Amino acid sequence: MPAKPRLNLPFTGITSFCRTPVVQDLEQLQADVAVIGIPYDMGTQYRSGTRMGPRAIRNASALYSLVDVGYYDHELDEYLLAGVRIVDCGDSDIVHGDPRQSLDNAEELVRAVLERGCLPVVLGGDHAVTIPVLRAYAGGEPFCVVQFDAHLDFVDVRHGVKEGHGSPMRRASEMEHVNGIAQLGIRGPGSSKHEDFVAAREYGSVIVSVREFRRLGVEEVLTRIPRSERYYVTIDCDALDPALAPGTGTPSPGGFSYYEMVDALRGIAGMGEVVGFDFVEVAPQYDPTDVTPQVAARLILDFLGAIFSARTRRR
């Protein structure tokens, strides 16, 4: 008797990102995109909980299942990600009380994915996870880092801590394979002091607040991002307005709208090769409505669609 076909509704089954295949044996990894979770929040200075971010984003992403139906965007009149092989490689191992080993494990996993020729999509975790992710690219072709964030994250050392969630852009500026930084959405009080802004500008970082973004418009802002053949994008949940994404540890009023973020990401995808990206600082326990991980999952899909559409156009 032939097997009865499954409808496979979002609330059934085991949830990977968008119900894509799970591949945890990286020796068998053959895909275009590898989704990785880094459920780490030992770099958090205030409200913890982003260790639950990857699981929440995966659960929310079941609504956008890529199995059978696909991902059709009527505004673009296009099936985004058609033919793109996406798999979920699970999470890097986190060792409680041992930040060094936890971050090293994350770097090792990302490097293994890169060696298999996949585009890493990283689900955080607090923003400290971007540090080992970027380190995994060492020795490769240089790229510009574009950060969407309410906070500058350019702290050097605080009470001996160099790899907290307030430091990823400072650490990125020290990496030889990073050839530029743009920081979009910066606003309000944060962990960085005046001297951190001075240091960022001396490095050459382009800093654009949300107010300035709206005054200039997305096309003008894109022209200010350092030119590079390759880009890595890091998205902090608090770049979005907390009315849209309240589930984060350090919300900051006045953030980006959904469409502002989408338009900027699509623009970046058209500027050069996107070599990877992360979405960090989702802390689902602060949002009982689950809107925040839903928005995160949708933005990740939108950006992936833009990346591969741009690749097709460039070919």
* Average pLDDT of every residue of the chain: 93
The answer to whether position 10 is within a domain reads no
| Cis omega (within 30 of 0) for bond into 125 | yes
Tokens in use for 299? 């933005």
Helix axes 291-314, 258-271, angle to 10 degrees: 30
- The total number of structural domains in the chain stands at 1
The answer to whether position 3 is within a domain reads no
Average pLDDT for 219-233: 98
The answer to whether position 2 is within a domain reads no
The answer to whether position 5 is within a domain reads no
CATH, residue 298: 3.40.800.10
Average pLDDT for 119-125: 97
40 close to 125: Cβ distance less than 8 angstroms: yes
The answer to whether position 46 is within a domain reads yes
pLDDT at 69: 52
Average pLDDT for 160-183: 95
Amino acid type, 116: R
210: domain range? 17-314
Please tell me the pTM assigned to this model.
0.95
